[in-house]
Amino acid sequence: MTEIDFILQSFKSIYFDFIHPVFSMAFDKNALSQLPTPVYLFWLALFFFITLMSLFQNYRHLLKARIIEDTPSSKIRSAAQGYSELTGKQYALPNHACLIAPLSLKPCTWYSYKIYRKNQKNNWPIVAQGQSVESFMLNDLSDICIVDPTGADIQPNMHETWYGFSANPQGKSKYKIMLFLGFLFGRYQYKEWRMDIGSPIYVLGNFSTLKKNEGSIINLISKTGLTARQPYLISNFTQLQLAKKYRLQSSFWLVLFLISMPYSLWWLSLI
C-alpha cells in the first residue's frame, strides 16, 4: 500500500467510524423521533436561530458593501457635512504621544489584542484583552480630520499571532528560534490587530466641522448621529477591497441560510 492509499484509507475509516453515523442520524426520521421532546425542541430552536442569524448577517454585510460602493470619496476640504467617505493616511494627533500596541510594542494609531493561556484541558481561554479608544488623525493632503474610533467597525490589515511563556510578552521576539520554541512549548498565545502610523486609511462616518475658537476649526468624523442603516467603518483596506470583503462574507451567510432553512423546516415537519 502506497502512502497516498494509506491516507485515503484513513480518511475513509474516519468517515465511516464517526462522520457517517452522525450524518445518517441527522437525516434518519426514526432515530430523530426517539429523541426526548426537550432535546428535540432544543435542536429545532437552534436550527431556526442559525437560520434567522444567517439571514440577518447576510443582509447586514450586503448593506455595508452596497453603501461602500455607492458612497463617493470626498476630500476633507470640500466634504459635505454628514455621512461622508474619506481616504488618506493616518497619523497620531499633533502634540499627542504616539500610541504603542501593548503586545508588540509597535507604534500605531489603533490596536486590539487578546491573550490566551493553555490550561490543563488543552483549552485556550482568554485571560486578557483590550482595544484602544484614542482618536487619531487622517490626512488627505487637502486638510486633516480627527477620527474617533469609538463604536466603529474596524477592519485592519495588520494581524500578528505568536506564542510565548509570559502573560506580558514585552514585544515579539526578533529571533525565529524563540518564536519556534514558543510555538512548541509556550502556554500563552498572543493575537494583535493594528493600524500602523502612515498606513492608508478608509473611513465612512459622520463628518462635521466644529468651530474651536475665532479663526480655528476642527474636522471630525465619528459615529455620532448615524442611524442603524449607516455603518461607521474604519479600515486599512481600499474601498474596493472592503466592499469585496463584505460581499464575500455576505455570500457565506447566504449559503448557510440556504442550507439551514430547508433543514429547519424538515425538522419542523417531524413534529
Tell whether 5 is covered by a domain: no
Determine the distance from the C-alpha atom of residue 198 to the mean position of all C-alpha atoms in its chain, rounded to a whole number.
22
**Closest Cα partner for 168 from 103, 112, 101?**
103
Tell whether 45 is covered by a domain: no
Non-local CB neighbours of 27 within 8 Å, separated by 6+ positions: none
pLDDT confidence tier of residue 22, bands split at 50, 70 and 90: very low
Give dist(CA 4, CA 11) in Å, integer: 11
Tell whether 7 is covered by a domain: no
- Is a pLDDT exceeding 50 seen at residue 20? no
**Per-residue pLDDT at 31:** 64
Average the pLDDT over 34-46 and give the result.
79
Top-ranked range on mean pLDDT: pick from 37-46, 75-84, 108-117, 259-268: 108-117
Share of residues in the chain with pLDDT > 90 (%):
59
Tell whether 178 is covered by a domain: yes
Q: What residue has cell string 482568554?
A: 126
- Is a pLDDT exceeding 80 seen at residue 133? yes
- Is a pLDDT exceeding 80 seen at residue 6? no
Tell whether 184 is covered by a domain: yes
Average the pLDDT over 64-86 and give the result.
91
- Is a pLDDT exceeding 60 seen at residue 241? yes
**Per-residue pLDDT at 3:** 45
Which amino acid is it at 22? V
Number of independent structural domains in the chain: 1
C-alpha cell at 190: 498572543
- List C-alpha distances in Å: 177 to 42, 118, 174, 250: 49, 21, 9, 40
Tell whether 271 is covered by a domain: no
**Closest Cα partner for 205 from 43, 49, 73, 77?**
73
**Per-residue pLDDT at 27:** 56
Tell whether 148 is covered by a domain: yes
Average the pLDDT over 155-182 and give the result.
91
pLDDT confidence tier of residue 103, bands split at 50, 70 and 90: very high
- Is a pLDDT exceeding 50 seen at residue 210? yes
Average the pLDDT over 165-186 and give the result.
90
**Per-residue pLDDT at 30:** 66
Torsion angle defined by CA atoms of residues 171, 99, 108 and 197, in that order, rounded to the nearest 10 degrees: -130
Beta carbons of 223 and 150 less than 8 angstroms apart: yes
**Per-residue pLDDT at 9:** 53
**Domain range spanning residue 143?**
73-238
Mean pLDDT over each residue of the chain, to the nearest integer:
86
- Is a pLDDT exceeding 50 seen at residue 217? yes
Tell whether 14 is covered by a domain: no
Tell me the Ramachandran region of residue 28: left when phi exceeds 0, alpha when psi lies from -120 to 50, beta otherwise: beta
DSSP per residue, the chain: --HHHHHHHHHHHHIIIIIHHHHHHHT-HHHHHTS-HHHHHHHHHHHHHHHHHHHHHHHHHHHHHHHHHHSPEE-GGGPPSEEEEEEEEEEPPTTSPPEE-TTT--EEEEEEEEEEE--TTS---EEEEEE----EEEE-SS-EEEE--TT-EEE-SEEEEEEES-SS--S--S-HHHHHHHHHH-SEEEEEEEEETT-EEEEEEEEEEEEEETTEEEEEEESTT--TTS--EEESS-HHHHHHHHHHHHHHHHHHHHHHHHHHHHHHTT-
The better pLDDT of the pair 1, 178 is held by 178
The better pLDDT of the pair 32, 148 is held by 148
**Per-residue pLDDT at 33:** 66
